[in-house]
Amino acid sequence: MNEKGSNKVAELSINGHRLAVSCEDGEEHIRSVEDYLNNKIEEAKENTKAVSTLDLALLAALNITGEIIKVRETLDKMGRKSEELTELIDRRLD
């Protein structure tokens, strides 16, 4: 395993394509990313008639981007709620 902060080149297989990438977050992290992306590509294969590698990659990217946007929106809502609760607690303590 690689310590965070030190770069290592990892050989990945994304949808059957070999790819060498530099990873500073460690081997376990990049393997997790590789697995996640391959799963998203498989989901796209199962849910569409797209057969080209580019189309599958774009569909996977769209799905992952949608997930990221939803998570960001949830985090923003939680942050606002946290601020509201902090203000309420502060008012009650005063």
Contacts of 87 (CB under 8 A, 6+ apart): none
- pLDDT tens-digit map of 22-75: 989 988 999 999 999 999 999 999 999 888 999 999 999 999 999 999 999 999
What is the per-residue burial (b if ≥16 Cβ within 10 Å, else e) of 56-81? bbebbeeeeeeeeeeeeeeeeeeeee
Give the number of other CB atoms < 10 A from CB of residue 46.
7
Res. 5 pLDDT band, cuts 50 70 90: low
Please give the pLDDT value at position 53.
92
Res. 1 pLDDT band, cuts 50 70 90: very low
Strand stretches in the chain, DSSP E: 8-14, 17-23
- pLDDT tens-digit map of 6-26: 688 999 999 999 999 998 998
